[in-house]
Amino acid sequence: MRYLILGSGPAGIAAAKAARKLDKDAEVLLATEEHAAPYLRPLLPDLVSGERELPGVADPQGKNLADLKVRLLGGKRARRVDSAKNRVTFSDGTEETYNFLCVATGGRPILPLALMGAPGSFLFLNSLGDAQRVRERAMRSDTTVVYGPGYLGIEAARAMRKLGNQVIWINPGLPRFGNPISGEVEARVTDQLRARGVKVHEGTEIADVIDVDGKNYEVVTAGGGTIRCHLVVVATERLPNIGFLDGSGVKAGAGVLVDEYLRTNVSNIYAAGDCAEVYDVNRRESRINFGWRSAIKQGQLAGENMAGGGKVYIKNAEDYFGLLFGTPLLERVKA
Ligand SMILES: Cc1cc2nc3c(=O)[nH]c(=O)nc-3n(C[C@H](O)[C@H](O)[C@H](O)COP(=O)(O)OP(=O)(O)OC[C@H]3O[C@@H](n4cnc5c(N)ncnc54)[C@H](O)[C@@H]3O)c2cc1C
């Protein structure tokens, strides 16, 4: 038996470990576009601010994969899935076959239209590589515009301010996807950010970005204001990374559509985590349940079910996005 799991985030790692646990003799492959060892995405803002160094963001879940005989294949971005031949093609031209496939490719942040014309002006804050690039560039910058709603915008603004940058946070409003933090918490955290010197522009959008001289940029807001900066950090909601499934026959909405067993319409293909739109048996609706804890729970269940577990995914309120690492948000911002 050969299990192929795509993506080395919490969902993919949990799926690989669960499949291994139930099927001791199987081959378990974890293929990921990442070159880095598994890491804790929620701690990336601390890496940017300098509160943590690289070893401090390693994902403990990913540490014993070799001992469990889970083969980690780095630098493998899935480009195409041939579900008739049970085969995945990667962007480096290599292929892997499977008996069972689990798609756990998470999400990618949304890029506002206005930034597309000025590619040198912005960096995302989504992956380990992004965090390292943001920190490196921020050390050479004085003024940063952070763009993004809710929790991710707050964390990016906090980290950049902690690093000593002048920070202007453009908060476009409630996230359209995922689970917003409560309005009351957001208001208190925003006040704290202001008290720390972050300038907050609420309820507006970036209308344009003008490249002044390759080092300085002028951000034009929807209200007509202009902000001179060296860098724009994009900390927006993440949408499922599933374009490579086009033409595979696997059905998708915003995410990969799976039933309560986390199985797609193709019986040997499963999906878990931020890329999966899961059927909720209680509410009788499908939705993406973004978040670290939910990704682990879904990954584990998908891994077990690929190996014959037959368990139903029941969503709990506590599976929703929450701060899982370190101190609560308000205390972080005060520090
Ligand atoms: C800065 C930041 C802070 C966050 N803080 C929190 C928090 O405090 N609490 C919380 O609950 N959530 C938080 N989140 C969200 C949380 O990180 C995600 O919900 C979680 O990582 C989802 O896990 P996943 O395994 O589904 O996907 P991911 O963690 O996104 O992992 C997917 C993996 O698949 C890889 N991949 C993508 N496409 C391909 C492909 N085509 N082929 C091969 N590999 C591919 C990616 O490189 C990645 O390694 C945060 C997110 C960010 C960006």
Residues contacting ligand 1 via CB (< 6 Å):
6-12, 31-34, 41-42, 44-45, 76-78, 104-107, 125-126, 152, 155, 241, 244, 273-274, 290-293, 295, 321-325
287's tokens:
């939705």
Q: pLDDT at position 36, please?
A: 94
Q: Whose alpha carbon is nearest atom 19 of ligand 1?
A: 291
The interface predicted TM-score (ipTM) is: 0.99
Which amino acid is present at 147?
Y
What is the largest distance, in Å, between two alpha-carbon atoms of the chain?
63
Grouping H, G, I as helix, E, B as strand and the rest as coil, residue 22 is helix
The protein residue whose alpha carbon is closest to atom 5 in ligand 1 is 42
Q: What is the DSSP string of 115-133?
A: GTT-GGGEEE-SSHHHHHH
Nearest atom in ligand 1 to the alpha carbon of residue 90 is: 42
Can you give the pLDDT at residue 77?
A: 98
The residues with which 240 forms a beta bridge, in sequence order, are: 107
Which pLDDT score is estimated for 38? 97
Q: How far, in Å, is the centroid of ligand 1 from the Cα of 14? A: 13
Rounded to the nearest angstrom, the distance between the alpha carbon of 90 and the centre of ligand 1 is: 20
d(CA 76, CA 240): 18
pLDDT of residue 248: 98
Determine the angle formed by the axes of helices 292-306 and 10-22, rounding to 10 degrees: 30
Closest CA to 233 of 324, 111, 113, 330: 111
Torsion of CA 279, 283, 287, 292, to 10 degrees: -90
Residue 226 and residue 220 in contact, taking contact as beta carbons nearer than 8 Å = yes
In the chain, what are the domains? 2-108+239-319 (3.50.50.60), 111-236 (3.50.50.60)
User: At 305, phi and psi to the nearest 5?
Assistant: -70, -35
Distance CA 144, CA 142 (A): 7
CA of 55 to the centre of ligand 1 (A): 18
Q: What is the pLDDT along the chain (335 residues), one digit of tens a residue?
A: 999 999 999 999 999 999 999 999 999 999 999 999 999 999 999 999 999 999 999 999 999 999 999 999 999 999 999 999 999 999 999 999 999 999 999 999 999 888 888 888 999 999 999 999 999 999 999 999 999 998 899 999 999 999 999 999 999 987 766 666 767 778 888 999 999 999 999 989 999 999 999 889 999 999 899 999 999 999 998 999 999 999 999 999 999 999 999 999 999 999 999 999 999 888 888 988 888 888 999 999 999 999 999 999 987 766 655 554 556 666 766 66
**Cα first-last separation, the chain:** 51
Residue with the nearest Cα to atom 50 of ligand 1?
A: 42
Closest CA to 278 of 308, 301, 256, 296: 256
For tokens 């990336």, the residue is: 44
The whole-number pLDDT of residue 297 equals 94
**pLDDT at site 328:** 65
Pairwise CA distance, residues 43 & 53, whole Å: 10
Q: What angle do CA 53, 330, 196 make, to 5 degrees?
A: 80
Q: What is the pLDDT of residue 283?
A: 84
Q: Is 247 helix (H, G, I), strand (E, B) or coil?
A: coil
Q: From CA 320, how far away is CA 39, in angstroms rounded? A: 20
